């Protein structure tokens, strides 16, 4: 097989995935058209949860199955006056239902590849091997969530009366965090806490989840054995894949907690060598676990769009803005110290491998929501040596955005005029839509890289809020690359970039009570501070006014430059993250709330309306008004 034939096969698989996603999105269409007779699957879902069907529940279950989000379901369960324990049980049952549904879809992809003899035997085996390991990762996810998120973390909250700062202090004092490079406390853990009398002890996954981890390791060993028997005639990366899987086996099998970070760094090093369009994703992110940042059970294949051509368009704009902000700092003794971190970030930018495509297979934590883009590895020592990979799923996100139902809440909050403009853009300006995605989402991933070195996160996270400012830093990094751009090639996107920002910032309020996405909720609060203080948004008599005039845009631009510069300095000084967050929002009881009274009042109002009508469809506007 020639490389071109291989890429042609890849295109067939990419198109098949597109069709599969369209078929899943049909569930949303049936919901919108009230074709409930075609939603038998959703009726089965409700029966599996032993819940009476209502329009709210139907919407929440479609969202859970199609978009892999359970925030709507949790709101519906709260309305049904389910207690916390019942909600956790139902969330877990929902996970199982969703898992079975998607496993079946993934089986069809494997059948499509093998029955049509697509790719080469080696890459067929990559898909089959990932699938077999994935089944074991999904089986493990339930006990991982039960033990870490709904077990130990809830125990810690009770033990310390909900005081997160005290929890973080306790974990550090009792040496319950994994040690990383150079014996310093790592910014994440590959272990779990186990009750030990009145105290806790830390155990590697192979000890804490012996059965599940062993089954993953067995599947990985079989995967490696199969690949060893075959050849990669297309990219000559056979041994890179094999060594990567063998590194995973070693990492999952490691039982000494203070060896885990270095073993997983070896996984990342091996993974960075693989540069084919078929990328395997392993446990990388750690959003779910707010305290110890235990790495989630990610496992997937990300497929690069065969039509994607590598380019350095966004990174050049990021570099230019990054340099301007750094140059704006006054000369001082610290500037030399700052320059080391600046150079560290710059080197990381230069080594980025960009992959634009869509998820092909995903398992484990993937059924609790897939990312729209990602920059990894998080290990900055590895990143300094090998660089990072950025994945962007723009085709998938565009397809999902066009399929999403119109909601009553959106019309009530934003008004029809803005929505009409936004929807006309979404359905009819595909090229420009991808350009805005490049600014907001690919820019966000590059934005994560800036102002950090290998110690930044562990030093700034002493009170547990690093992630809660890091997402704002990332999005604003992309935004600043647009706002400070001297070229005019993207000038026509101005109003859409602004609408996108407004919609994102307001929409993130809906995640207030979802712990694992708290960093995005906090990001939204900081953006709202800028949007309200510059008059882009104003809130009077329970009505949100939106002003997208040039005058307000310029004021907002100035606000972002000023606040992002302050944030960059905060990172360079490695000050605790909570200090920066508290400029905009303070934790009141369970959740962060805006300091500004007007914004505070709006956030409370929006969240209340989200709870009341967040699952209701808007029947006043139709997609047929936009699809030409």
pLDDT of 450 strictly over 80: yes
Structure tokens belonging to residue 347: 């080197």
Asked if residue 509 lies in contact with residue 606, where contact means CB atoms within 8 angstroms, the answer is yes
Measured distance CA(601)–CA(583) in Å, rounded = 17
Minimum mean pLDDT range among 132-136, 335-339, 554-558:
335-339
**Which tokens is 423 given?**
């929807």
Whether residue 286 is predicted with pLDDT greater than 90 in this model: the reply is: no
Nearest to 443 by CA among 344, 317, 334: 317
With a cut of 90, say whether residue 36 has pLDDT above it: yes
Mean pLDDT of the 462-490 span = 96
Please determine, for residue 127, whether its predicted confidence score (pLDDT) is greater than 90. Answer: yes
Which stretch of DSSP H or E encloses residue 376?
A: strand 373-376
Tens digit of pLDDT for each residue in 417-443? 999 999 999 999 999 999 999 999 999
Q: What is the band of 208 on the pLDDT scale with cuts at 50, 70, 90? A: very high
Position 628 scores a pLDDT of 79
Question: ∠170-163-187 over CA atoms, to 5°?
Answer: 50
CATH architecture of 131-304+353-387: 2-Layer Sandwich (3.30)
Per-residue confidence at 571, pLDDT binned at 50, 70, 90? very high
Given phi > 0 = left and psi -120 to 50 = alpha, else beta, which region is 34?
left
Q: At a CB cut-off of 8 Å and minimum separation 6, what does 361 contact?
A: 106, 109, 127, 130, 131, 134, 300, 301
The pLDDT of 177-198, averaged and rounded, is 93
Across 123-144, average pLDDT: 98
Of the candidates 271, 255, 498, 502, the one whose C-alpha atom is nearest the C-alpha of residue 383 is 271
Average pLDDT, the chain: 95
pLDDT of the residue at 375? 93
Based on the number of CB atoms within 10 Å of its own CB, is 236 exposed (0-12), middle (13-18) or buried (19 or more)?
exposed
Confidence of residue 59 (pLDDT cuts 50, 70, 90): very high
Is residue 287 scored above 90 in pLDDT?
no
Query: Using CA atoms, how far apart are residues 185 and 208, in angstroms rounded to an integer?
Result: 20
Map out the domains of the chain as residue ranges. 1-119, 131-304+353-387, 313-352+402-625
The answer to whether residue 310 scores a pLDDT higher than 80 is no
Model pLDDT, residue 336:
86
Is this structure's pTM higher than 0.85? yes
Q: Which pLDDT band, with edges at 50, 70 and 90, does 47 fall under?
A: very high
Crossing angle of helices 518-533 and 597-613, in 10° steps, is 130
> What pLDDT band is residue 111 in, cutting at 50, 70 and 90?
very high
């Amino acid at each position: 097989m020639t490389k071109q034939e291989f890429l042609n096969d890849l295109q067939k698989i990419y198109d098949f995935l597109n069709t599969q996603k369209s078929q899943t999105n049909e569930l949303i269409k049936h919901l919108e058209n009230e074709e409930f007779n075609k939603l038998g699957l959703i009726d089965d879902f409700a029966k599996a949860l032993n819940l009476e069907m209502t329009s709210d529940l139907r919407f929440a279950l479609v969202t859970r199955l199609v978009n892999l989000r359970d925030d709507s379901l949790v709101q519906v369960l709260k309305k049904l006056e389910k207690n916390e324990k019942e909600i956790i049980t139902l969330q877990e049952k929902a996970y199982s239902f969703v898992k079975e549904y998607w496993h079946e879809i993934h089986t069809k992809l494997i059948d499509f590849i093998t029955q049509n003899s697509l790719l080469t035997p080696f890459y067929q085996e990559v898909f089959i091997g990932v699938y077999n390991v994935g089944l074991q990762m999904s089986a493990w996810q339930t006990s991982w969530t039960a033990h870490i998120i709904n077990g130990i973390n809830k125990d810690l909250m009770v033990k310390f009366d909900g005081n997160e700062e005290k929890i973080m202090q306790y974990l550090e004092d009792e040496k319950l965090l994994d040690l990383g490079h150079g014996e310093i406390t790592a910014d994440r853990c590959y272990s779990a806490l186990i009750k030990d009398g009145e105290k806790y002890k830390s155990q590697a996954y192979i000890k804490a989840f012996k059965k599940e981890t062993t089954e993953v390791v067995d599947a990985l060993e079989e995967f490696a054995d199969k690949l060893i028997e075959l050849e990669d005639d297309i990219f000559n990366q056979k041994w890179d894949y094999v060594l990567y899987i063998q590194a995973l086996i070693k990492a999952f099998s490691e039982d000494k907690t203070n060896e885990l970070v270095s073993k997983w760094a070896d996984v990342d090093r091996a993974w960075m060598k693989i540069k084919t369009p078929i990328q395997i994703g392993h446990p990388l992110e750690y959003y779910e676990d707010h305290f110890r940042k235990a790495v989630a059970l990610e496992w997937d294949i990300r497929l690069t769009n065969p039509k994607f051509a590598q380019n350095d368009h966004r990174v050049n704009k990021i570099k230019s803005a990054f340099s301007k902000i750094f140059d704006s700092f006054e000369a001082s003794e610290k500037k030399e110290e700052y320059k080391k971190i600046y150079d560290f970030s710059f080197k990381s930018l230069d080594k980025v491998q960009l992959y634009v495509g869509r998820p092909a297979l995903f398992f484990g934590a993937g059924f609790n929501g897939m990312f729209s883009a990602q920059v990894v590895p998080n290990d900055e020592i590895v990143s300094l040596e090998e660089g990072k990979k950025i994945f962007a799923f723009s085709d998938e996100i565009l397809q999902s955005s066009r399929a999403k139902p119109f909601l009553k809440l959106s019309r009530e909050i934003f008004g029809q005029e803005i929505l009409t403009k936004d929807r006309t853009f979404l359905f009819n300006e595909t090229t420009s839509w991808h350009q805005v995605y490049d600014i907001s989402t690919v820019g966000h991933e590059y934005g994560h890289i800036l102002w950090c070195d290998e110690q930044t996160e562990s030093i700034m996270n002493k009170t547990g809020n690093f992630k809660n400012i890091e997402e704002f830093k990332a999005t604003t990094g992309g935004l600043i690359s647009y706002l400070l751009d001297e070229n005019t090639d993207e000038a026509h996107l101005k109003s859409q970039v602004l609408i996108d920002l407004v919609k994102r910032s307001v929409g993130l309020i809906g995640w207030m009570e979802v712990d694992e996405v708290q960093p995005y909720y906090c990001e939204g609060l900081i953006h709202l501070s800028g949007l309200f203080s510059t008059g882009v948004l104003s809130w009077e008599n329970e009505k949100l006014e939106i002003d997208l005039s040039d005058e307000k845009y310029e004021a907002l631009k100035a606000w972002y430059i000023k606040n992002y510069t302050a944030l960059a300095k905060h990172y360079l000084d490695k000050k605790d993250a909570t200090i920066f967050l508290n400029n905009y929002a303070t934790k009141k009881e369970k959740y962060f709330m805006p300091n500004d009274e007007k914004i505070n009042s709006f956030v409370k109002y929006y969240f209340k309306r989200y709870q009341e009508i967040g699952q209701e469809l808007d029947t006043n506007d139709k997609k047929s008004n936009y699809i030409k």
